[in-house]
Amino acid sequence: MSKNKNRPWQTKYGARRVRNEEATVEEAIAAAQGLSDDREEQIEIASALMGVPQDQVRAALLNLAPVRKDVGRAVISTGAAARQRVVVVETKRPRRIATDQRATGQR
């Protein structure tokens, strides 16, 4: 809590203080990936969010793991226009399990 510049306040449970942490470039990239599918737009959005050069964001984006392609995604809107709800469904294909023929008794 050494980064905290705020003074603590007293509650009935004792002194309390709030720790403020700066967002990281990886968190800004995750937010940008939720807003856009285009990689260059993601770089621009993350750069604007963090106030850092686009080259620094581009380098961090290239170091991250690529987005999985095998995840199916569907967006479903339900309800009336006044009470509209959006449900996002993500499905993952099951992994194929290689069976050992010796273990099953087949040859």
Assess if residue 12 is contained within a domain: no
pLDDT for 6 equals 72
Assess if residue 13 is contained within a domain: no
pLDDT for 1 equals 43
Query: Are 75 and 87 contacting, i.e. CB atoms less than 8 angstroms apart?
Result: yes
Can you give the pTM of this predicted structure? 0.51
Two tokens at 32?
Answer: 């940008």
Assess if residue 27 is contained within a domain: yes
pLDDT for 18 equals 81
Q: What range defines the domain where residue 44 resides?
A: 22-92
* DSSP summary character for residue 68: P
Percent of the chain with pLDDT over 90: 21
pLDDT for 36 equals 84
Instruction: For Cα atoms 65, 96, 106, give the angle at the middle one, nearest 5 degrees.
Output: 150
Report the chain's mean pLDDT, rounded to a whole number.
Answer: 77
Could you give the CA distance from residue 84 to residue 91 in angstroms, rounded to a whole number? 23
Q: What is the mean pLDDT of residues 21-45?
A: 88
Two tokens at 83?
Answer: 């009470």
The answer to whether residue 55 scores a pLDDT higher than 90 is yes
Assess if residue 8 is contained within a domain: no
Assess if residue 106 is contained within a domain: no
Assess if residue 98 is contained within a domain: no
Phi, psi of 62 (to 5 degrees): -70, -25
pLDDT for 58 equals 92
Assign 56 a pLDDT band (cuts: 50, 70, 90): very high
Q: What is the mean pLDDT of residues 18-37?
A: 85
Domains held by the chain: number: 1
Phi, psi of 43 (to 5 degrees): -65, -45
Assess if residue 65 is contained within a domain: yes
